[in-house]
């Protein structure tokens, strides 16, 4: 672990004119820059980042032309950035801008006073009592998944574990958000979220991609997926508002929330942004993590 942890501290909004000399990283070579612009990031990103961390340590600097990024590896440094000195690291960056069509100005991508207001409004959703109430939905979704697997296991049939984890996490998020397994909407929304994140990953790895305003086949698929999220989200928001009851779910909480300072609530667009945030942060990332857990268990059966 490098001794000079202060090198990643900087006043809020400060932009470095060049990489700190104390932070190592791979050299910037012209042919690597051309390859990155023409062909994108390495195909095996996991191995690339693991090898880079082994070679350069707990903080790594990447320089590509005028653009710099930093790979933070050690848990203490991650805590420093995300918790201890969070005000030093504004969220304004290329990745957050890419997420905006899905998350808008939700908790994940908003910053400053907007984030603080959203955080105050959403705080009740994370109380222990409310979180404990979601356990039943998690158990029900898991039991339904196992029941679906049972006949397949008897026949010795293989499963696409990544797809299965997408399905079960979306069911859980649907129950937590809307007080119900979203049923017929589940597969449609699952495909939409998957397509959206595939689009994000492609744009991150291929910096010379066409702007999203250009109607390429990839961009059209992306806009169709966003339209699906919008359509289902706004319909469910309207149904909850019409019912005018607290179902104990996150959507009911967001509709009822009022800012203690202003007395204002969230409009439909702001609620939809939080739905997109929960779908992205609570579904896609969790499903990917669980898929990796299954993979690692298969590689290390002695810990099962």
Q: What is the per-residue pLDDT across 283-297, written as a single tens digit (0 to 9) for each?
A: 888 898 999 999 999
Does a structural domain hold residue 95?
Answer: no
Does a structural domain hold residue 259?
Answer: yes
* Distance between CA atoms of residues 193 and 170, nearest Å: 10
Question: In which domain, by residue range, is 125 found?
Answer: 103-303
Does a structural domain hold residue 141?
Answer: yes
* Distance between CA atoms of residues 117 and 266, nearest Å: 10
* Distance between CA atoms of residues 39 and 121, nearest Å: 43
Q: Could you tell me if 135 and 228 lie in one domain?
A: yes
Does a structural domain hold residue 97?
Answer: no
Asked which of 33-37, 67-71, 87-91, 208-212 is least confident by mean pLDDT, the reply is 33-37
* Distance between CA atoms of residues 59 and 53, nearest Å: 8
Q: Could you tell me if 35 and 167 lie in one domain?
A: no
Q: What's the predicted TM-score (pTM) here?
A: 0.74
What CATH number should be reported for the domain holding residue 114?
A: 1.10.630.10
Instruction: Give mean pLDDT, residues 3-31.
Output: 51
- Of the two residues 5 and 167, the one the predictor is more confident about is 167
Does a structural domain hold residue 96?
Answer: no
The last residue of one of the domains, among 62, 90, 118, is: 90
Instruction: Give mean pLDDT, residues 44-72.
Output: 82
Q: Could you tell me if 227 and 109 lie in one domain?
A: yes
Does a structural domain hold residue 133?
Answer: yes
**Is the pLDDT assigned to residue 282 strictly greater than 70?**
yes
* Distance between CA atoms of residues 53 and 36, nearest Å: 20
Q: Where are the beta strands (DSSP E) in the chain?
A: 59-64, 67-72
Q: Could you tell me if 186 and 148 lie in one domain?
A: yes
Model confidence band, residue 163 (pLDDT cutoffs 50, 70, 90)? confident
Q: Could you tell me if 77 and 157 lie in one domain?
A: no
Longest dimension (CA), the chain: 62
Q: Could you tell me if 158 and 241 lie in one domain?
A: yes
> Are 117 and 287 contacting, i.e. CB atoms less than 8 angstroms apart?
no
Q: Could you tell me if 161 and 299 lie in one domain?
A: yes
Q: How many domains, in total, are found in the chain?
A: 2
Q: Could you tell me if 252 and 145 lie in one domain?
A: yes
CB-hemisphere CA count at 13 Å for 60? 19
Q: Could you tell me if 144 and 210 lie in one domain?
A: yes
Does a structural domain hold residue 98?
Answer: no
The last residue of one of the domains, among 90, 125, 148, is: 90
């Amino acid at each position: 672990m490098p001794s000079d942890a202060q090198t990643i501290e900087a006043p809020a909004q400060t932009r470095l004119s060049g990489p700190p000399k104390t932070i190592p990283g791979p050299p910037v070579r012209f042919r690597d820059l051309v390859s990155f612009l023409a062909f994108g990031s390495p195909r095996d990103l996991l191995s690339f980042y693991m090898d880079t961390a082994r070679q350069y340590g707990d903080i790594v600097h990447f320089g590509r032309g005028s653009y710099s990024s930093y790979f933070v590896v050690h848990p203490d440094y991650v805590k420093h950035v995300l918790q201890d000195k969070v005000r030093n690291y504004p969220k304004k960056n290329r990745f957050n801008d890419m997420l905006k069509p899905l998350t808008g100005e939700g908790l994940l991508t908003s910053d400053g006073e907007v984030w603080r207001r959203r955080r105050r409004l959403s705080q009740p959703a994370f109380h222990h009592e409310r979180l404990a109430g979601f356990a039943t939905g998690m158990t029900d979704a898991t039991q339904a998944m196992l029941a679906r697997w049972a006949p397949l296991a008897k026949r010795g049939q293989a499963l696409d574990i990544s797809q299965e984890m997408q399905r079960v996490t979306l069911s859980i998020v649907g129950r937590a958000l809307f007080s119900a397994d979203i049923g017929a909407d589940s597969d449609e929304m699952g495909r939409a979220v998957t397509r959206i994140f595939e689009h994000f990953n492609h744009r991150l790895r291929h910096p010379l991609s066409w702007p999203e305003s250009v109607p390429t086949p990839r961009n059209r698929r992306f806009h169709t997926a966003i339209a699906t999220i919008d359509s289902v989200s706004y319909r469910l928001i309207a149904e909850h508002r019409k019912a005018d009851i607290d179902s104990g779910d996150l959507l009911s909480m967001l509709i009822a929330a009022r800012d203690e300072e202003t007395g204002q609530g969230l409009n439909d667009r702001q609620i939809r942004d939080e739905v997109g945030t929960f779908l992205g942060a609570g579904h896609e990332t969790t499903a990917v993590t669980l898929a990796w857990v299954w993979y690692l268990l298969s590689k290390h059966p002695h810990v099962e």
